[in-house]
Amino acid sequence: MPPARTARRLLALAAVLAGAGTADARYEGSLNLFVGQKWMQNSDWAPVEEQRDLGLMLDFAEERIPVHFSLDLFYSHDDEPTAGVAAGTPVEAESIEFAIGFRKVWGRRMFRPHLGAGGTAIQAEIVTALAGGTDKRSDRGYGVWIDGGLSWRLVDHLNVGLEVRYSKATVDLNSGFEILEAAAGGLHVGALIGYGW
C-alpha cells in the first residue's frame, strides 16, 4: 500500500475515533507538527545518517481517561556525496514512520510533560547514483518506539514544546542474494507546535 494512502487512512481513522462515543463525552488532545533531526545508525546509513525530520503527532482521549491514544507520522530525508574511494557519488535516503500507541500527558494547565510508547512500521529507502544508472534499495520493517517531551499550552489552544523520540526497526536493503540488514529507526529530536483542545 502506498505510504500516502496509508497516512490518509490513519488520519481518517483518528477522526472517526475522536468523534466516537456518547453525545455528552468530552475529549482532550493535541495535534502537533514536529520539526527536527533524525539520527540513524552511522555504520548502516553513512553518509546520510543525519536526516531532516518532519512529523505529525496526534493524541486524544476522553477527559476522564488518564492515557491518550496516539497516531504519529514521521518523514525524514537527506542527500550527501560519498567520501573515500568513491568520493562524490550522490547518495539519497529517506524513511517514513507510521506509529500507533499510547501517550500519558500530565497536567491540564500551561505546562504539560508527556511520555509515550507503541508499535511502528518504517519504510526506508536508499538510492545511490552509479555510472550506469541508480541502485535503489527499500524495505519495510516493524518495531517499537518510545518518546518523551514537554509542551506549553499558550493562548487557549496553541501548543509549543520539545520532543525526544527513539524508534527501532530493522529493514533488509538486499540486492539479489545479498542480505543487508539495516537499522531503520533512530533518535528524533526537535520542536513541537500545534493545536490542543
The per-residue pLDDT for range 157-191, each reduced to its tens digit, is: 999 999 999 999 999 988 666 668 999 999 999 99
C-alpha cell at 49: 545518517
- Which domains can be identified in the chain, with CATH numbers? 3-80+95-124+139-196 (2.40.160.20)
DSSP 111-173: EEEEEEEEEEEEEEEEEEEETTEEEEEEEEEEEEEEEEEEEEEETTTEEEEEEEEEEE-EEE-
Quick: pLDDT tens for 88-101. Answer: 788 999 999 999 99
Cis omega (within 30 of 0) for bond into 2: no
- CA 185 – CA 95 distance, rounded (Å): 8
Report the distance separating Cα 91 and Cα 83, nearest Å.
11
pLDDT above 70 coverage of the chain, percent: 81
**Confidence class of residue 84 from pLDDT cuts 50, 70 and 90?**
very low
Strand partners, 163: 149, 190
